[in-house]
Structure 1
Amino acid sequence: MQIQRAVIATIEFQPGVPLVQQIVDQLSVAISQGGLPHGAKLPPTRELSDLMSVGKSTVVDALDRLRAKGLVVSRQGSGHYVHRSSTTIKTDAGPDLQPQDTLSVVRRAVLLDNVSYVSGFSKTLTANSRVSYAVLSPQLAARLVALKMACGGMTSELAEQIICTMLSDGSYAKHTRRTVDRLYESSSRVTSWLEEAGCSVSSLPGEGLFIWTRLPEGLHAETLARKGLEIDLVLAPGTLLSKAPSASHFLRFNVAHSDNSQVRERFFRLLDS
């Protein structure tokens, strides 16, 4: 640890450049040149703050960016470490945007490069972003880029640059971690009061933006949704989203919107009416 402290203490700041960027740049050089050995543990955040005479939030931001570049890894309850194979990591590579659920991981393992993903940032950032992405094999990606150029497809360069910066400096990864944590907490609360109301929920907390719930015996989703409108409660019956015969027994709840005491109170009132 003494070596790490000595290297970090030598960081010097120049005016006109953000402190976070200077920390990231100088630590990146120290890692690439061996000043900070691979696998070495970094001092705690508070100590890093004291060594460099900067605020704790600046250190946290810098560590997030180093982690996004693949130079640093964090271990729960243990701290931050220099990546063991930093020399082999392409620091200009973006984050892994592939789904990490079990089914997706197995599908990629079996089908290899024959799996493609198309998505966007409207759900995770803002509906106004109007920026999408595709995760493809290198060969298919090259063909798609050539096709886009040939068709003259134009997208907002400003929006693309903003999102590119967020992906590169670790901001997006930090934002999604916080969003997933909040989604999990909200999902747990909504699931709890739905089960208290007598509904059955098959999905686990944090599995997505929506919860599918089966209504208590004898209740019809469309009938309940129509009655809900009378008390300013908008519900999504399963029949709007599925043609399955059993869909009339299900409602779909938006996790974020349903984690609300008024929604809970009105739904209980609706079931009691």
Structure 2
Amino acid sequence: MSKIFLSHTNTDKPFVRKLASDLRRFGHTVWIDEAEINIGDSLIGKIREGLDLVDYVAVVLSKASIDSPWVQKEVEIASNREIEEKKVLVLPLIIEDIELPGFLKGKFYGDFSKESEYSEKLDVLLRSLGDSKSVIQEKSDVLTKLKADLEEAKQVAEKHRKEIEKVNEYNLLNKSEKLRTRILEENEKHPKYAPINTVYAFELGDSDIPITLGYLLWVISKIQLQGSHQIEWLLELEDKWNLAIKMLEAYSDMLNSEPN
């Protein structure tokens, strides 16, 4: 991967930030003043340090930057390195319809002046920087694996869902028709009660009264308001308070497992 210094003016920050983000996304290291220079640092010292450490200096050229003394100085330093090291170091990137300044004439440049062609020009720049395609392939492989893992997880979840449905169907078959009807009616109104009703709903045998979670909660609220309710006495009479308590404990566990 390459290290790139982005030479620019403040006027062109929006484009520079977008380009920096895309270059990092493809695995390259980007030197940009707002990220590398801290309060109290020597501007000239930090910029010179950045220019000495990078593999390329991408010069973002606009009407504002070609007249910037800072940009001109940065390009001068980078050009001297280019001559000394005898390799391409300075990469001109035009973002407006301008003529290349004299100190960059004769260089092949990247034309980012048309926003609609940004992706195409970015690909050209990435090829110049090298090694980007391997990063693209690596990310593609990771994405393919993630998709495969997601599909496998979905299949497992679907299998469990079908198993749960079979268990629920079996539980309902072991209940009376009247109780099944009441369970289905309540589950339609309160879907989150369904797992509890399917397993724990019961009947008061002698009176044939379906006791579902919703109905039990309603009875408890009546007991709290009025001090008693006839269902309370029937539960006591038929010794089925233990079934009601199991239903309420399951409801409590369900509430405690829900995210806050």
Q: What TM bracket, shorter-length normalisation?
A: under 0.3
TM-score between both structures, scaled by the size of structure 2: 0.20
Report the structure, 1 or 2, having the larger helix content.
2
Give the TM-score, by structure 1 length: 0.20
